[in-house]
Chains A and B, each alone.
Chain A
Amino acid sequence: MRGLRRPSRGPWTRALAAAGLVGVLLGTAACGGGDGDGNGGAAPGAQSDGGEAGDPVDGGSITVGLEAETNSWLPGEGTFNQPGLNVAYAIYDPLMQRAEDGEVRPYLAESLESNEDLTEWTLTLRPDVQFHDGTPLNAQALKTVFDTYLKAPTSRVAATLSEVNSLDVVDDLTVVYKLAETNAAFPDILTGASGWPFSPDAAAAAGPDAGANPVGTGPFVFESWQRDSRLVLKKNADYWQPGLPHLDELVFRPIPDEDTRLASLQSGDIDVMQSLRQGTILRARELDGVSNYEWLGSNSGGTTVNTSRAPFDDVRVRQALAHALDQEALIEVLGGAGVTPPSTQFFSEDSPYYSEKVAEAYPEYDLAKAQELYNDYIDDPDRSDGLPVGTPLSFTFQCPPDPSLNELSQIIQAFWSALGAQVELEQTEQAAWIQQMLSRDYETGCTRVGGDNDPYILLSQAFQEGPLNMTAFQSPEIDEQLDILKATADLDERKKAIEAIGLVLNENVPNTFAGGTLTVMAARDAVKNMDGWVFPDDIQGNGAANASAMWGHVWVTD
């Protein structure tokens, strides 16, 4: 596909894409896309060049350019994507956080223990921790937050917490989360918005404006917020972790356009910028005086087919479509050539759940095989769509209106048309497309596959009964493995179960993959320790994962 001409893309359309694609959903359902010009040369994958951080320096102020604004800072009300996570980790502390080895460990919590059958989780808080307004962080505060905000019917974490029946106070510093069913993945839930305690007193006092006046326990105290312009945070002088934070002031600025965000870093308007776009990452690598903290997540662009509709209920059709796609070409139109490796499963090569066996089972690009499967279906007198033998497949491929996604659609159309199928392209605006996928009112289209939640949460949402099962694909074998995943915290057992699921998926291909999504935090060299954060007991954290940092641990040397 080298000969394909790729028209240059305007920054305005990128702005739209950034604002639209990122703002709407947490990864899993949003559609994938990257842009920019891929160049060969470097090996695909994350490259970080932050180097040694040296000794911490206290004081100073830095400004961080984020790719989008967040609607509200109140857990339960806010949609926290990558930009929002950065702010959340400055104002709040997560009860649990992910370590370098992928294990979820206590951060603000002192400990989290489960009973034998993983249905009751006892969380102990650290003594003498206060919210920024002086309210003590205790069991009652957690319970009020849980009952009043997190479990409210319109809460954005209500579904996440649907299997948590109650949070009961044991003593001043101890609570028990009571689950409806066994769930080994429960600690993962507390790394997200459900696990960021905020002052119930302050939230009650602010009423409907609580989302604009966040009060947490985190390293920085909220000072002011002008939406779509800047959020200013000041050092929390009474922070519970001695010696932290290092910075006196931290400013976040949402700059939706990729080009102007990069220009702002170059001109010194901002000290750090975030990007999830492959083209920007390549350009940031070339800047002098800038350190890049890259991370390859498990989110991949790809296609989805609605297996509840003929002809996609037939595995031959799905396999034919998968074998007909050249992943390298798809990655190239997404701007990821030389940056992102092809994906073959829900987890990237950097994930502990990645499996070589699953990678080998992914349908490779093989037109002859694709054609054979395709012909086999259309010449089958009992074909599932009931059409006469020999009638070519005719269906629609939907994608949101974004320049790189348009190109992706066109190239997919070309590949599938080569089999003899009649593929009609349809642009569907993001909000409408997600709704169509959720209600399974579509044939095929582009989507994002994978994610960095706990595998049980991710895979059960994607392949069991529920709104997020957009492919409508289910299998008893997957259910069986999910039961294992749900019931055990043992890493080896879980890996085995995930591998088994991956093999079923690559055999049945309800989704195909393009390339993974690389993310970057690009910082002036003077900004240090962007990825060196540690737990209170000095265990190494998972770095600048997902283009977000633990800001309490960052310092600046000038």
Chain B
Amino acid sequence: MYVLRRLPSLIATLLAVSILTFLMTSLLPGDPALQILGAENATPEAIAAVRSELSLDDPLPVRYLHWIGDALTGDFGRSYRTNEPVSQAIIERLPVTAEIGLLAIVIALAIAIPVGMLSAYRAGTRTDKVISSTSFGLLAVPNFMVAILLILVFAVWLGVLPATGWVNFTDNPVQNLRSALLPALSLAIAEMAVYTRLLRTDMIATLQQDFVTMARVKGVSNRRILFRHALRPSSFSLLTVAGVQVGAIIGGSVVIETLFAVPGVGRLLLEAVLVRDLLMVQGVALVIAVSYVVVNFTVDILYSYLDPRISHGRSSARV
């Protein structure tokens, strides 16, 4: 029910995104035809030939309708620059970015949850202060700095992980994980700090609630109180932000994938923007927007699991 009700606004969002990307890329200065030919070959005749071949001289609305019509059938066109089908390029690269992003979130949560809980449990103590200041410190370090440091330590000094490069999971799962680890860690560090801070705040509030005091009175162990009783109600902000932060991870992937020479969507987008590969930019932006919307939509649905009181379907029906 809830899903159905949200569907129109979802579609409207995606439509708006597609129009905006289309407009922004089309209105950027810099002629794609010039980029395709290279300055040496940019005779007026050649430019005219390329522009007509790519239908760049049609009015914008016509071009947009053409593009969105094809896109709805899964045909995003062929890249101006590389001549490969845009959909194929995205399908090849999406798993790379998804794997690194997912791994980053898993690493960040795996560290942030216990650390954040510890920080809340020991609120005000020296442990809490150390954790807090460390989190702020990590938040302040940009991910490319982290990446360079990680490469220096793990690849150049210790020699245990590759500095750059990517191995497909299907070629070699172990090497695949090795090549994904440093990029994921670079993205995870800042996320980790955010998650720790959020969980700490919510957890402190939860730990002051009556049901926790009740559990304490009943003699429930601290570990059980923290993990079984307090974690779930304290993870709202964490979950919301984890959803929103998917955007940060995709943004970060543009930087991280370039540094680690990983063939992901971020790097694809960057290079497409620089050479005005319009169809590629539009395709990638649309796919990123869709994944962002879908993730946050999923987060919405997860709320009802975390707290049955706000189950979306029923609450509105009862009001």
Contacts and interface: CB of A to CB of B under 8 A. Distances in A.
Interface of A: 10-12, 15-16, 19-20, 23-26, 28-29, 65, 69, 71-72, 77, 79, 153-160, 162, 208-209, 211-212, 226-230, 253-257, 259-261, 263-264, 266-269, 428-432, 434-435, 438, 461, 467-468
A211 B84 CA distance: 9
A24 to B, nearest CB: 6
B40 A211 contact: no
Contacts of B261: 228-229, 253-257, 260-261, 264
Contacts of A209: 83-84
B82 interface: yes
Nearest to B155: A267
A267 B168 contact: no
Contact of B40 (A71, A268, A461): A461
B271 A19 contact: yes
A25 B38 contact: yes
Contacts of A159: 37, 40-43, 46
Contacts of B308: none
B262 interface: yes
Given A256-B267, A431-B34, 18 more contacts: A26-B40, A71-B83, A156-B38, A160-B40, A212-B84, A226-B263, A229-B165, A230-B166, A254-B261, A256-B258, A257-B259, A259-B259, A261-B261, A430-B30, A435-B30, A438-B34, A438-B42, A461-B40
Interface in B84-108: 84, 89, 92
B255 interface: yes
Interface in B26-40: 28-31, 34-40
A263 B164 contact: yes
Interface in B157-207: 159, 162-166, 168
B16 interface: no
Contacts of A432: 28-30
A421 B20 CA distance: 41
A157 B41 CA distance: 7
Contacts of B42: 159, 438, 467
B41 A19 contact: no
A21 to B, nearest CB: 9
B294 interface: no
A209 B53 CA distance: 18
Contacts of B259: 11-12, 15, 257, 259-260
B84 to A, nearest CB: 7
Interface string B39-51: 1111111100110
6 contacts: A12-B255, A260-B259, A263-B148, A263-B152, A431-B30, A432-B28
Interface in B248-287: 255, 258-263, 267-268, 270-271, 274-276
A382 B261 CA distance: 58
B40 A28 contact: yes
Contacts of B92: 226-227
Given A208-B78, A226-B263, A431-B276, A158 B46 contact: yes
Interface residues of B, number: 57
Given A156-B41, A226-B263, A264-B164, A211 B274 contact: no
B39 A468 contact: yes
Contacts of A268: 159
B144 interface: yes
Nearest to B33: A154
A143 to B, nearest CB: 22
A417 to B, nearest CB: 27
B39 A71 contact: no
Given A154-B36, A461-B40, A429 B30 contact: yes
Nearest to B161: A267
A431 B163 contact: no
Contacts of A65: 164
Contacts of A468: 39-40
Contacts of B31: 435
Contacts of A256: 258, 261, 267
A266 B89 CA distance: 31
Given A79-B38, A211-B82, A263-B164, A229 B263 contact: yes
Contacts of A208: 78, 83
Contact of A228 (B38, B147, B263): B263
A153 B258 contact: no
Given A20-B274, A23-B275, A267-B155, A261 B38 contact: no
B270 to A, nearest CB: 7
Contact of A29 (B28, B39, B155, B270): B39
Contacts of B147: 11, 260
Given A26-B38, A156-B38, A260 B81 contact: no
A209 B267 CA distance: 21
Contacts of B65: none
Interface in B57-90: 78, 81-84, 89
B159 A267 contact: yes
Contacts of A28: 39-40
B156 interface: yes
A254 B165 CA distance: 9
A253 B165 CA distance: 8
B196 to A, nearest CB: 25
Given A25-B38, A71-B82, A467-B39, A15 B258 contact: yes
A11 B165 CA distance: 17
Contacts of A77: 83
B35 A269 contact: no
A514 B92 CA distance: 43
B60 to A, nearest CB: 19
A227 B37 contact: no
B212 to A, nearest CB: 45
A84 to B, nearest CB: 12
